[in-house]
Structure 1
Amino acid sequence: MKIQQVDRNRFLVTTKRYRDKVTSDWFDAKLLAEQGAIIGHSTGRNTTWFFQQQDQQFVLRKYFRGGILSKWVEDSYFFIGLKRTRAYRELALLRKMRKKGLPVPDPVALMVEKNGFTYRASIIIGLIKNTQDLFHILRQRSLSADEWKAVGMLIKQFHDKGVYHSDLNIHNIMLDDQGQFWLIDFDKGRLIANNRAKLETNLARLQRSLRKELSKFPDFNWQESDWHHLVKGYYGD
């Protein structure tokens, strides 16, 4: 990946495919909006922007803290080296996963802004077109047994390559209009060798996510029996 120092405090890192395309302006949501490049957004803990440049569509996401610490420190982290930032690690992991043929977004670029001993960061990835996350799908309809098995097979595909997703939940599993499932949001994800037990904790995290949404939304189209289909897909039964 190409590292470019934009100014005294900012560093732009791009993957090979995008090294001559991405500029620092791509990380400025306000400027993108003024240019008419914003095509959508999603809100959660923070806003994620969808934008278009050079006939391609991308996702701009800023890094924010979660948990109790976020009440005091919203979006800054201790700087201990560019390659150890959350943004660099996620972009590098996406690169490795794409090379392994895994269904993840296209890694594009990141921006790190250093301020003394801390930094803020944003990442740009390719937008997977015509997709919805599992949460929104399950608010509309149930998944078939075969679709749940496909979700299990998806997770197993990543585990077989040693990929640990640090926050596997139904908001990070996407389904496109061709029936293919994808995984997104690999912040704090990593490659783990020879630790099947650790990888399989992803399953428990996903099951908690489903149960949590079911408790919040009575019309949520999921039931415990669906989980058995997912497990069958994962273990190949």
Structure 2
Amino acid sequence: MADMQQTIKKGEIIGFNPVFLPHCQSQHFSPTFWQQNNSVIGSAAGRGTTHFIQSEQHKLVLRHYRRGGLIGKILNDQYLYLGLPSTRAFQEYHLLEKMKGMGLPAPTPVAYRVVKKGLYYQGDLITLKIPNAQDIHHVLQTRSLSEQEWRDIGNTIALFHQQQIYHHDLNIHNIMLDDAGKVWLIDFDKCAEKDGESWKQNNLDRLLRSLNKESNKMANYHFEHKNWSLLIDGYKNH
């Protein structure tokens, strides 16, 4: 993108869009820096902690890349460095940039950082916070979705699939609903453009497993099988 700038120093590579975060530096990827400036407005626990930041002009989301599973216990946040284009931060930033160009409802990328340490690297990503949005997992804990909302979720997933965008972890936590009723997808780590059709059904199956899992864990989770039929109806009739 024409607006993007990049800085490289001492094994640290930062790419950023100065429209959203002018003069982006190492400190902007440090939760401590933002905490010291009383700019942390919230956080979310997952594989690591995601921080929500109020900068001078924008609300931001700061995420440090961490591994899951058994290997995550050994190499918590370290990844083998095979060149900048192969890093998770670089790939997610540029995929988000491409999806914005397609008009898809995904977060706007602000900045990424890759820090090389020997054979390994660590990475961070900053995006714009989606205004007045909540993940649908939390919505379902408090209320039922309307028939149209279920269809809109399916319709939104279809938008991404029609552009051959594969979401590696399509679960109910990574689908957002804003206060205007718009559906968004988030967390595009390890996602990519992907050829073919067969993976699309696997994507939907993963989402259904996620809904069933959460429904089985919580007594008052507002999900029924008929809701899934509405979602699929929205998906197929986009």
Shorter-chain TM-score category?
Answer: over 0.9
Residue 16 of structure 1: how far off its partner (Å): 6.1
Match of 1:58 in 2: 60
> Counterpart of 1:176 in structure 2: which amino acid?
D
In the alignment, the residues of structure 2 paired with residue 18 and residue 180 of structure 1 have an alpha-carbon distance, to the nearest angstrom, of 23
Contact 1:90 1:187 (C-alpha < 8 Å) held by counterparts? yes
Instruction: Give runs of aligned pairs for residues 1-237 of structure 1, distance below 5 A.
Output: 1-5=4-8, 7-15=9-17, 17-18=19-20, 20-193=22-195, 195-236=196-237
Structure 1, unaligned runs of 5 or more: none
In the alignment, the residues of structure 2 paired with residue 105 and residue 49 of structure 1 have an alpha-carbon distance, to the nearest angstrom, of 15
Matched residue SS, 1:125: strand
Residue 224 of structure 1: how far off its partner (Å): 1.2
> Counterpart of 1:231 in structure 2: which amino acid?
I
Residue 31 of structure 1: how far off its partner (Å): 1.2
> Counterpart of 1:99 in structure 2: which amino acid?
G
Residue 156 of structure 1: how far off its partner (Å): 0.2
Contact 1:15 1:109 (C-alpha < 8 Å) held by counterparts? yes
What TM-score results when the alignment is normalised by the length of structure 2? 0.95
Matched residue SS, 1:171: helix
Residue 124 of structure 1: how far off its partner (Å): 0.2
Contact 2:95 2:192 (C-alpha < 8 Å) held by counterparts? yes
In the alignment, the residues of structure 1 paired with residue 23 and residue 140 of structure 2 have an alpha-carbon distance, to the nearest angstrom, of 37
Return 15-24 or 145-154, whichever deviates more: 15-24
Contact 2:43 2:49 (C-alpha < 8 Å) held by counterparts? yes
Paired positions, count: 235
Contact 1:154 1:181 (C-alpha < 8 Å) held by counterparts? yes
Return 21-30 or 102-111, whichever deviates more: 21-30
> Counterpart of 2:72 in structure 1: which amino acid?
S
In the alignment, the residues of structure 1 paired with residue 21 and residue 218 of structure 2 have an alpha-carbon distance, to the nearest angstrom, of 44
> Counterpart of 2:120 in structure 1: which amino acid?
T
Matched residue SS, 2:141: helix
Contact 1:64 1:74 (C-alpha < 8 Å) held by counterparts? yes
Root-mean-square deviation over aligned CA pairs: 1.3
Partner deviation per Cα, 1:61-80 (whole Å, 9 max, x = no partner)? 00011122112211100000
